[in-house]
Amino acid sequence: MEEDSVSIWPRMEPFLLGALQVAPSSKLGLHYLRKMATYVRTREGSFPMLGWPMWRHIACGKLQLPDDLAWLYFETFDLLQGHTAEERLEWAECLSQCSSKTELDQQRSKMSVDTLQFLLFLYIQQLNRVSLRTSLIGEEWPSHRARSPSPSDRESKTSSQNKNWDDQAHLSFVLNHLAEILELLVEPGHLPKSGQSLRDCQVSVTIIPSVCFNAHFPLNRIIIYKTDKFCPEKKTYVGHTNRENCVLAYSYIIVSQQIILDKCRDSLVILGPVETSVHIHSCQNVRIVCVARRIIIGASSRCTIHSLTPTRPLLLPGNSDIVLGPFHTFYPSLEDHMASVGLAVVPNLWDQPLLLGTEDFACFRLLLPAEFNSLVIPFQMEGDTCEVPGGLPAPYQATLEEKQKKIQSWQKTVMEARLNKDQKQQFEELVTLKFHEWLLKSGNRKEIDSLIPPQLTSVREPNSPAVDTL
């Protein structure tokens, strides 16, 4: 390879975790980002690192974005950074000590991000931009301008529906917009004049999310390579888990970097700590229990999410009958797992959703305390966690205590009845019968049955030890 060439690998994470799954504001187009690129270079304390106060000034004052959206972009970009678990926990501790909005703003003002990286992060929000041409005649996939080995027809269809999860779409986006991406990085004095080709300019690239090379290079000497990390057979990204088309499933996943639930129905999914985000897309009648840094829900209906999360749950367009409730379970090693990925019990914003791309506030509600029940993880393991981390909100804790009192009152009544042996047996049989009737009527029988391992089948090769398979 020649000295003045450079190889570029589009990273999956900025697209998978960073590009919000809604059409971006027109204020994040190239025209405004060019102005921002020039502006930050002329303001002290804005380059090469951009602080939250300056970004809020630009976003709210110049671009007229809502404050919540400005923080969402800033916070989302920070989620992509390689902070250690200890740094995440330290930041959570600082936020938990803020007792007012003023104190919270003061704490946020201590955060800064790499200016160039943040500019590119804002630009890749165009991944989900909807064009008039696409809306009228559909999207051509893959683009002739970015031809690369195409996946199967089914995978192509899936990727065109959700570009965030398809590395082919990431590569196509970079190829089709490479000139504009690099233009954001050109020093103001080196911007091309009218009639001048961008390829005649020089760019100094220091730290770019999609480039793994650090050098000066002419723009006509760029080679793009693609690293395919997708495993079609397992539906699993490296470090990510994708549950697709689950029906009547009961899943328990202890620790993951990211979870994607796509087109799942009539299922229960219980998650341990998720380092980055849980995406819930096109799901129906699914109950999710999770500890996650971010939760994103889109195009889903009749779903209940019990969560512990330090960020506001994102509700995208297309949702209906979404119920948000507090995280309500534990297992012995839960707190150890949380610490390993930098998740603390506070702040916990499960009940403060942020609607993005929609104003349908009727699409969700908070779980009523009267509807609340605790959840027991039906597995044994080592660890010290013996209660829900951080405890339950007072109204929900009061509901559990009231139900516990009723159970104790019932047990006392049975003891004081002084039943003889035959009466006790008849009573137990009646209670068991009614319990099984309730399991069938409520649908909980399927969940209990799913916990029973299927019959083991012995598979034995000649002259070899037996191997048990499920």
Q: What is the pLDDT of residue 416?
A: 87
- Say how far apart CA 442 and CA 426 lie, in whole Å: 24
Q: Categorize the per-residue pLDDT at 459 as very low, low, confident or very high, splitting at 50, 70 and 90.
A: very low
pLDDT at 69 over 50: yes
Q: What is the pLDDT of residue 27?
A: 93
Q: Give Cβ neighbours of residue 107 (< 8 Å, ≥ 6 apart).
A: 94, 95, 98
The candidate with the shortest Cα–Cα distance to 341, out of 412, 291, 305, is 291
The candidate with the shortest Cα–Cα distance to 24, out of 80, 69, 57, is 69
Dihedral over Cα of 439, 440, 445, 447: its sign: negative
Angle ∠(12,16,17) on CA atoms, nearest 5 = 115
Written as one string, the DSSP assignment of 251-304 is EEE--EEEEEEES-EEEEEEEEEEEEEEEEES-EEEEEEEEEEEEEEES-EEEE
Q: Categorize the per-residue pLDDT at 101 as very low, low, confident or very high, splitting at 50, 70 and 90.
A: very high
- Say how far apart CA 266 and CA 177 lie, in whole Å: 41
Least confident range from 202-216, 383-397, 447-461: namely 202-216
Q: What is the pLDDT of residue 455?
A: 55
- Other beta carbons within 10 angstroms of residue 122's beta carbon come to 24
Structural domains for the chain: 6-224 (no CATH), 234-371 (2.160.20.70), 419-470 (no CATH)
- Say how far apart CA 256 and CA 290 lie, in whole Å: 11
CB 22 within 8 A of CB 356: yes
When pLDDT is averaged across residues 323-331 and rounded to a whole number, the result is 97
Q: What is the pLDDT of residue 66?
A: 96
What percentage of the chain reaches a pLDDT higher than 70?
Answer: 74
pLDDT at 144 over 90: no
The pTM assigned to this predicted structure is 0.80
Q: Categorize the per-residue pLDDT at 417 as very low, low, confident or very high, splitting at 50, 70 and 90.
A: confident
Q: What is the pLDDT of residue 51?
A: 96
Tokens 């609340």 correspond to 372
Q: Which secondary structure element, helix H or strand E, spans residue 428, and what is its range?
A: helix 421-442
Q: Categorize the per-residue pLDDT at 2 as very low, low, confident or very high, splitting at 50, 70 and 90.
A: low
pLDDT one-digit tens code per residue, 177-202: 988 888 888 876 666 555 455 555 55
Q: Give Cβ neighbours of residue 461 (< 8 Å, ≥ 6 apart).
A: none
pLDDT one-digit tens code per residue, 281-316: 999 999 999 999 999 999 999 999 999 999 999 999
Q: Measured in Å, how far apart are the chain's first and last C-alpha atoms? A: 51
Dihedral over Cα of 116, 276, 316, 226: its sign: positive
- What does R_g of the chain's alpha carbons equal in angstroms? 26
- Say how far apart CA 213 and CA 449 lie, in whole Å: 53
Least confident range from 8-17, 205-214, 276-285: namely 205-214
Q: What is the pLDDT of residue 371?
A: 95
Q: Categorize the per-residue pLDDT at 158 as very low, low, confident or very high, splitting at 50, 70 and 90.
A: very low
**Cis amide leading into 10 (omega within 30):** no
| Residue type (1 letter), 370 | A
CB 167 within 8 A of CB 12: yes
Q: What is the pLDDT of residue 10?
A: 75
Q: What is the mean pLDDT of the chain?
A: 80
295 forms beta bridges with 278
Higher pLDDT among residues 367 and 2, named by residue: 367
